Structure 1
Amino acid sequence: MSVNLLELSGVHTHIGAYHILHGVDLQVPRGQLTMLLGRNGAGKTTTLRTIMGLWQASQGSIRFDGQDITRLATPQIAGQGVAYVPETMGIFADLTVKENMLLAARRARRAGEIDDARLKWIFRLFPAVQKFWNHPAGKLSGGQKQMLAVSRAIVEPRQLLVIDEPSKGLAPAIINNMIDAFAELKASGVTLLLVEQNINFAKRLGDTVAVMDNGRVVHAGAMRELAQDEELQRSLLGLAL
C-alpha cells in the first residue's frame, strides 16, 4: 500500500484556449491533512476540479489508492470513495437539510435508512445540521450551509475529502468548530485535501502543505516547517503567516 492516497504527476489542464495547470506534481499522504496554498489565480481550484474529473487533464496522470483515475468520469471518481465540497458549497436551496443529506446518502431511499450511528456522529460534529433538519437549506447562514456541505460529503464513509476554502466568509467561532470537526475526521482515518486562505486554519490543521504559483506546485513539505520559516513564507506567498 502506497504511503500516498492521491498522486498527481505532471498534470496539465486546458480550459478552452487557456493553459491553466503546467505540470502539477502533488502527493497527498494517506491519513493526513494536506493544505494547498497559493495566491489567487495560482491554479488551486483548477487542481481540485481536475482531480474530480470536472475538468479533464490534457496531460499527466492522477492516481488514487493505486488506481489511475485520470480519465474517469466524476461519478466514477466519487464511487471510489472521494467526496468534493466546492467553494460554492453546491447546496440545494429549495430542499430541506434532510433532503440535501438524503440525496448524498446514495444507499438510502428515505431519511430513516441513513446509518443512524453515522448520523448521530455528524450531528455531534455539526449540531446545526440536526437543529435545522427540516428547514429549507436556502434559509441557513453561510456557516450553517458550509456545515451542511461537509456533512453531505461524509454522510457515507469516504477515503478522501477534497474541500475548496471551507472557512471562507465564516465567523471565527464557526471556523473553530470547523477546525475541531476536521481534526476529528482526520483522527478517524479520513484523508483530507483542503484549499485554504485562512492562514491560522492552515497552521492549526495541516500536516503537509503544497504551495502553487502560476499553475505549478513550487513548494511541498511539512506544514510545520513552512509555518516556522517567515522568509520562505514571503517568497512563496508574498506574506508571513
Structure 2
Amino acid sequence: MSTENLLQLQGVHTHIGAYHILHGVDLAVPKGQLTMLLGRNGAGKTTTLRTIMGLWQASQGSIHFNGRDITRMHTPQIAHLNIAYVPENMGIFADLTVKENLLLAARKASNAARMDQERLQWIFKLFPAVEKFWNHPAGKLSGGQKQMVAVARAIIEPRDLLIVDEPSKGLAPAIINNMIEAFDQLKKSGVTILLVEQNINFAKRLGDTVAVMDNGRVVHAGSMAALAADEALQQSLLGLSL
C-alpha cells in the first residue's frame, strides 16, 4: 500500500469571526487508507473538515490534495476534484425521494435510468436500505437510513477522497456494524477515507492511521492499531479506553 499522502494540511489556522478555532493543524491522510480523526467535543475536528472543503477559509497554512494547493479554492472547485463530504447533519433533502437525492449527486446522469447501473447495484449491496426506500421521501427515513443515503449519495460517482463527519452518531449497534462493513468495502475499492468519529469501537475496527486533536491542534498521529493497544495513551489523549 502506498504511503504517499493524498491530503496534507500544514500549519492550518482557522478563524471564525472573533474566534481562533484551529491553531496550526498538521494532518496527513495517506492514499488508499482510512484515517480516523479523533478528539473530545470542541477539539476542532469538524472545523478541520469544513476548512478542507473551503466552507471556512484557512487564515494561515496550506492544504494540498493530490499534490495541488487547494487552500484558497472555493467549495464547488474542491468538490470537482473528486472529493465528497458528508457533514454531521447529513445534508439530506427531506422532501425529495432517495432516488432524487442520489440523482442530484450523479452529475453525468440527467435521469435515474442514466445513472451508472453497475455502480448503483454495488451501492444497493453496501446499503440495502437505499434500494428498499428508493421511492420514499428521504425525510421519512430513520437516522441510520438517512446516514446510508448520505454516504450513498457521496459515492454515486467514483471519489478519490471521502470525508465523513461522525457517521455512527446516534445509530443503533446493528446499523453501526452495517456502516463499518460498508466503509471497509469502500476502502477495499481504493477510496481514501477521512472519518471524524466519537465511537471508539468504530475507529478501532476501521482505522489504518489516526490523528487525535485537542484545542485546535493535532496532538498525536500514528497507527490506529498502536493507539488501540496502548490504554495509557488513550487515557491521556481522549480520557477513555478503547
TM-score interval (norm. to shorter): over 0.9
Report what 1:23 is aligned to: 24
What is the root-mean-square deviation of aligned Cα atoms in Å?
Answer: 0.8
Asked whether 1:227 is paired with 2:228, we answer: yes
Aligned mates of 2:107, 2:76 — CA distance in 1: 12
Aligned mates of 1:231, 1:127 — CA distance in 2: 40
- Contact 1:2–1:66 under 8 Å retained in 2: no
Report what 2:170 is aligned to: 169
Relative to structure 1, the CA distance from residue 205 to residue 2 in structure 2 (aligned partners, 3 Å threshold; closer, same or farther) is closer
Aligned mates of 1:71, 1:80 — CA distance in 2: 14
Aligned mates of 1:198, 1:39 — CA distance in 2: 11
- Contact 1:165–1:196 under 8 Å retained in 2: yes
Aligned mates of 1:135, 1:156 — CA distance in 2: 22
- Report Cα offsets for 1:190-235 as digits up to 9, x if no partner: 0000000001000000000000000000000000000000111111
Report what 2:150 is aligned to: 149
| Local SS of the residue matching 1:123 | helix
| Local SS of the residue matching 2:241 | coil
Aligned mates of 1:239, 1:170 — CA distance in 2: 20
Aligned mates of 2:33, 2:226 — CA distance in 1: 16
Aligned mates of 1:172, 1:238 — CA distance in 2: 22
| Local SS of the residue matching 1:55 | coil
Q: How many residues align?
A: 241
Aligned mates of 1:122, 1:45 — CA distance in 2: 26
Aligned mates of 2:204, 2:173 — CA distance in 1: 15
- Contact 1:159–1:191 under 8 Å retained in 2: yes
Asked whether 1:61 is paired with 2:62, we answer: yes
- Contact 1:85–1:163 under 8 Å retained in 2: yes
- Contact 1:211–1:217 under 8 Å retained in 2: yes
The alpha-carbon deviation at position 240 of structure 1 amounts to 1.2
Report what 1:127 is aligned to: 128
| Structure 2 segments unaligned to the other structure (5+ residues) | none
Asked whether 1:206 is paired with 2:198, we answer: no
| Matched residue type, 1:14 | H
| Structure 1 segments unaligned to the other structure (5+ residues) | none
Aligned mates of 1:65, 1:102 — CA distance in 2: 27
| Matched residue type, 2:158 | P
Aligned mates of 2:49, 2:109 — CA distance in 1: 28
The alpha-carbon deviation at position 2 of structure 1 amounts to 7.4
| Matched residue type, 2:167 | P
| Local SS of the residue matching 2:63 | strand
Report what 1:50 is aligned to: 51
| Matched residue type, 1:183 | D
Asked whether 1:196 is paired with 2:200, we answer: no
- Report Cα offsets for 1:115-156 as digits up to 9, x if no partner: 010000000000000010000000000000000000000000
| Matched residue type, 1:75 | P
| Local SS of the residue matching 2:10 | strand
Q: Which runs of 4+ in 1 moved over 2 A?
A: none
| Matched residue type, 1:21 | L
Report what 1:183 is aligned to: 184
Aligned mates of 2:239, 2:131 — CA distance in 1: 41
- Report Cα offsets for 1:38-77 as digits up to 9, x if no partner: 0000000000000000000000000000000001110100
| Matched residue type, 2:179 | M
Structure 2 length as normaliser, TM-score? 0.99
Aligned mates of 1:135, 1:240 — CA distance in 2: 40
Aligned mates of 1:72, 1:120 — CA distance in 2: 34
| Matched residue type, 2:19 | Y
| Matched residue type, 1:170 | L
Report what 1:113 is aligned to: 114
Aligned mates of 1:163, 1:117 — CA distance in 2: 24
